[in-house]
Amino acid sequence: MLIHTIKEVREKIEEWKKQGLTIGLVPTMGALHNGHLSLIKKCVEKCDKTVVSVFVNPIQFCPGEDLDKYPRTLDADEKLCKDAGVDIVFAPSPQEMYPDAQMMSNDFFTYVIPPFFYTDKLCGKSRVGHFDGVCTVVNKLFNIVQPDFAFFGEKDRQQLIILKKMVKDLNIPVQIIPCPIVREESGLALSSRNKYLSDNDKKNALALSKILFNIKACYNNGITDVKALTETAYSYLNNNHSLEYLEFRDAENLEEKKTADDNTVVFIALKIGDVRLIDNISLARG
Ligand code: AMP
């Protein structure tokens, strides 16, 4: 069922809560692909009722980013959700979520601001304010849907870590379920932004997963020095790539690692033309 208003979602949620049903939420920005579908399937399996939100959240885009051209495919998204057994597709307008457009600055609107230690690095460094927008909208979605479980992909691992921290710090009664990255056979992590890539860009985009897989293989062979592991990346890069970061960080609190261990995640972001792609890999064994 496609719903556009908060009021209608609330009515349904109230009905389900009265019946004692468990509710799962999968927040998305739409243009759904098999990565999203893996979260949706997990949710449908685990919960009595599944809500998928489809909302391109304006306040998590920075000036100059792709808000206007972000792919919007609601009809196809709705069909995919229906086939997967989703109970509600919640697709609010920006006006429904942020009724007064002038309130979109945090001078006039209540924002949820995650700790600076988590947001001053990796994607937060170039996307200033991005995680404030993410935490604010996810908090709003939690208040609207009141889910028992919420499903997030490890594809956006910094986001996942920050949201877990928000839930813990603010005592939000929801359990976050992390879901593994879904990749194409080539290794490329699925992303709605892959739609922007030409065939040639896609070939160049394989550098992300190749770099990460190679680092993991080197780590498994006993190399733990981060400097040495980082150096293995450069042979995969050419002048079509603009590397934004390649960093080794703690899986729980994003602290920088000088020596890799099983609690390390390797994060990478690079640009191919105008398209910015991210990926990551955990070095945990077994
Ligand atoms: P988005 O629509 O990009 O905001 O993504 C919605 C959710 O799907 C987020 O929790 C993402 O981490 C997750 N997601 C996106 N791509 C993938 C993928 N390739 N594998 C697993 N989860 C993904």
pLDDT above 70 covers what percent of the chain? Answer: 99
Tokens 């849907």, residue? 145
pLDDT of 103 higher than 70: no
Query: What residues flank ligand 1, with Cβ below 6 Å?
Result: 28-29, 35-36, 38-39, 152-153, 155-156, 179, 181-182, 189-192
Check if the beta carbon of residue 208 is closer than 8 Å to that of residue 242.
Answer: no
Structure tokens at 64: 């100059």
Residue burial 52-78, b: 16+ Cβ < 10 Å; e: rest? bbbbbbbbbbeeeeeeeebeebeeebb
Residue nearest to atom 10 of ligand 1 (CA): 152
State the distance between the two ends of the chain, measured CA to CA, in whole angstroms. 40
Q: Ligand 1 center to residue 278 CA distance, Å? A: 11
Whether the CB-CB separation of 138 and 27 falls below 8 Å is answered with yes
Q: What is the pLDDT of residue 256?
A: 98
In contact, 38 and 12? CB cutoff 8 Å: no
Q: What is the mean pLDDT of residues 9-27?
A: 98
Strands (E) across the chain are located at 2-3, 23-28, 49-54, 88-90, 149-153, 175-179, 241-250, 264-272, 275-282
What number of other Cβ atoms are within 10 A of residue 276's Cβ? 18
CA distances from 96 to 10, 90, 245, 259 (A): 13, 11, 36, 47
The pLDDT tens digits of the residues spanning 216-269 come to 999 999 999 999 999 999 999 999 999 999 999 999 999 999 999 999 999 999
Q: What is the pTM of this model?
A: 0.97
Residue 100 scores a pLDDT above 90 = no
Q: What is the mean pLDDT of residues 199-221?
A: 97
Which residue numbers are catalytic? 36
- Tokens found for residue 239: 């002048």
Q: What is the pLDDT of residues 113-161, one digit of tens each?
A: 999 999 999 999 999 999 999 999 999 999 999 999 999 999 999 999 9
Token couple for 257: 């690692």
Q: How many helices (H) and strands (E) does the chain have?
A: 10, 9
Interhelix angle for 130-145 vs 6-18, to 10°? 50
CA pair distance 164, 159, nearest whole angstrom: 9
Between the alpha carbon of residue 23 and those of residues 14, 51, 106, the distances in Å are: 11, 7, 31
Average pLDDT, the chain: 96
Pick the residue with more confidence: 249 or 104?
249
Residue 285: Cβ within 10 Å count: 8
- Indicate the top mutation candidate among 28, 60, 186 to test ligand 1's pocket, ranked by most ligand atoms within 8 A of CB: 28
pLDDT score for 105? 73
- Domains of the chain (ranges; CATH) run 2-179 (3.40.50.620), 192-280 (3.30.1300.10)
- For the chain, how many residues are written? 286
DSSP state of 149: E
Which tens digits make up the pLDDT trace of 217-228?
Answer: 999 999 999 999
Secondary element (H or E) of residue 165: helix 157-169
Determine which residue's CA is closest to atom 11 belonging to ligand 1.
153
Atom of ligand 1 nearest to the CA of 156: 12
- pLDDT for 219: 98
Residue-wise pLDDT for 177-201, tens only, equals 999 999 999 999 999 999 999 999 9
